[in-house]
């Protein structure tokens, strides 16, 4: 473990622009634990000062610091219309005195509610396009246009899925282990929604550096095929480890991703999803969202019931945020209330 702490110091050597107070709470889900037959802890990364919080904040601390170090004055990123990443990038940008543009794509409505309402309040320059496949090219063209106008743009990939973004959850892994220890718990599993990959790659990297690879990180895909997510994870892990110079390497066998809980694809909302939101709200008073966290919690519950997650084991569920999405999809959620 001591060697692991030395490795983590390499992460801490990178500049950070502080956006929230850490650690976030790690709370016991007493009633859910009793019903499921496991010791369930919820890592409340939805509880942060920055604009209603979420997992992107940890990544943005390193990304914003890099943008400022490079003298950039405007951020460009991308996401779905309901994107938590866009909202939090905008909030972080304003806190740092930067402008922000966002290329946004389906799914999700452009109606002024949920994250779109918050984006407009934060003065994000929204650039809607119809095809997600063209978003990266649209960001590049926008960057060139801004450069021609004398601006200094900094392009952030979807979800903050870069090597710097991975650092946020490498430190998050240390935070989870320290808090668990203080509660007298040794986690067996960490479960969370996975998509662009920086959260899962960071957790896995952090645990490996700390000598805690026996803690199994289970990613519940929010829409992409497991094979696609896994490839992203391997690439992100290895490029980040190379950047840090820590001498570790990952292969596909180091990652576990389940893609059977998307209920028809990214952003698709079904009765199972809404029932999970209701179940957790009515047992623990915790609000999940219909795109990410409800699907991840459904997966967690099913994996317990199937015996993949062993009874009486200790499970940390990372609440990655997203509460504004509930309001953005109010009409879809209402169908199943």
Helices vs strands, H then E, count in the chain: 13, 10
Closest among 20, 28, 57, 16 to 322, alpha carbons compared = 57
Of residues 6 and 222, which shows the higher confidence score? 222
Pick the catalytic residue from 21, 83, 253, 323: 83
From residue 166, give the alpha-carbon distance in Å to each of 94, 169, 232. Answer: 22, 6, 12
Quote the pLDDT of residue 5: 63
3-59 pLDDT per residue, tens: 456 667 889 899 999 999 999 999 999 999 999 999 999 999 999 999 999 999 999
Q: Which listed CATH number (3.40.50.11030, 3.40.50.1100, 3.40.50.11060, 1.10.3720.10) goes with 2-49+161-334?
A: 3.40.50.1100
Collect all residues with Cβ–Cβ distance below 8 Å to 162 and sequence separation of at least 6.
59, 63, 156, 198, 236
pLDDT confidence bin for 288, thresholds 50/70/90 = very high
305-322 pLDDT per residue, tens: 999 999 999 999 999 999
Quote the pLDDT of residue 1: 52
CATH, domain range 56-160: 3.40.50.1100
Average pLDDT over residues 276-288: 98
The answer to whether residues 103 and 130 touch, using CB atoms and an 8 Å cutoff, is: no
Quote the pLDDT of residue 8: 75
Quote the pLDDT of residue 6: 63
The answer to whether residues 296 and 286 touch, using CB atoms and an 8 Å cutoff, is: no
Does residue 227 have a pLDDT over 60?
yes
124-153 pLDDT per residue, tens: 999 999 999 999 999 999 999 999 999 999
The rounded distance, in Å, linking the Cα atoms of 335 and 337 is 6
pLDDT confidence bin for 109, thresholds 50/70/90 = confident
pTM: 0.96
The answer to whether residues 75 and 101 touch, using CB atoms and an 8 Å cutoff, is: yes
Domain ranges, ordered by start, for the chain: 2-49+161-334, 56-160
Mean pLDDT, the chain, whole residue set: 96
* Identical fold, 2-49+161-334 and 56-160: yes
The answer to whether residues 120 and 85 touch, using CB atoms and an 8 Å cutoff, is: no
Q: Mapped to the 3 state alphabet, what secondary structure does 178-195 carry?
A: HHHHHCCCCCCEEEEEEC
| Residues listed for the chain | 337
Average pLDDT over residues 242-248: 93
Does residue 108 have a pLDDT over 90?
no
SS3 198: helix
Could you confirm whether 83 is annotated as catalytic?
yes
């Amino acid at each position: 473990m001591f060697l692991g702490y030395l490795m983590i110091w390499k992460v801490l050597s990178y500049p950070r622009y502080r956006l929230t107070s850490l650690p976030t709470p790690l709370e016991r889900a007493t009633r859910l634990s009793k019903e499921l037959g496991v010791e369930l802890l919820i890592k409340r990364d939805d509880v942060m000062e920055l604009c209603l919080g979420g997992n992107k904040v940890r990544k943005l601390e390193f990304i914003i610091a890099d943008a400022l170090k490079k003298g950039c004055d405007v951020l460009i990123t991308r996401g779905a219309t309901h994107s938590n990443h866009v909202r939090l990038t905008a909030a972080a940008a304003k806190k740092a005195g930067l402008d922000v543009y966002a290329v946004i794509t389906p799914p999700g409505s452009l109606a002024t509610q949920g994250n779109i309402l918050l984006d407009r309040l934060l003065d994000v320059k929204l650039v809607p396009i119809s095809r997600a496949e063209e978003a990266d090219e649209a960001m590049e063209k926008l960057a060139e246009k801004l450069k021609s106008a004398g601006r200094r743009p900094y392009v952030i990939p979807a979800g903050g899925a870069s090597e710097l973004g991975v650092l946020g959850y490498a430190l998050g892994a240390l935070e989870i282990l320290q808090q668990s220890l203080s509660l007298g718990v040794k986690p067996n599993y960490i479960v969370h929604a996975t998509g662009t990959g920086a959260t899962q790659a960071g957790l896995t990297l952090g645990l490996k550096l700390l000598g805690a690879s026996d803690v199994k990180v289970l990613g519940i895909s929010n829409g992409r095929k497991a094979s696609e997510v896994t490839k992203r994870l391997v690439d992100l892990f290895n490029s980040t480890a190379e950047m840090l110079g820590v001498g570790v390497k990952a292969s596909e066998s180091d990652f576990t991703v389940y893609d059977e809980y998307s209920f028809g694809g990214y952003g698709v909302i079904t009765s199972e999803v809404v029932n999970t939101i209701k179940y957790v709200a009515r047992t623990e008073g915790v609000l999940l969202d219909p795109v990410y966290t409800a699907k991840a919690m459904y997966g967690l519950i099913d994996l317990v019931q199937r015996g993949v997650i062993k009874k009486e084991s200790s499970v940390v569920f990372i609440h990655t945020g997203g509460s504004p999405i509930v309001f953005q999809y109010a009409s879809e959620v209402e169908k199943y209330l």
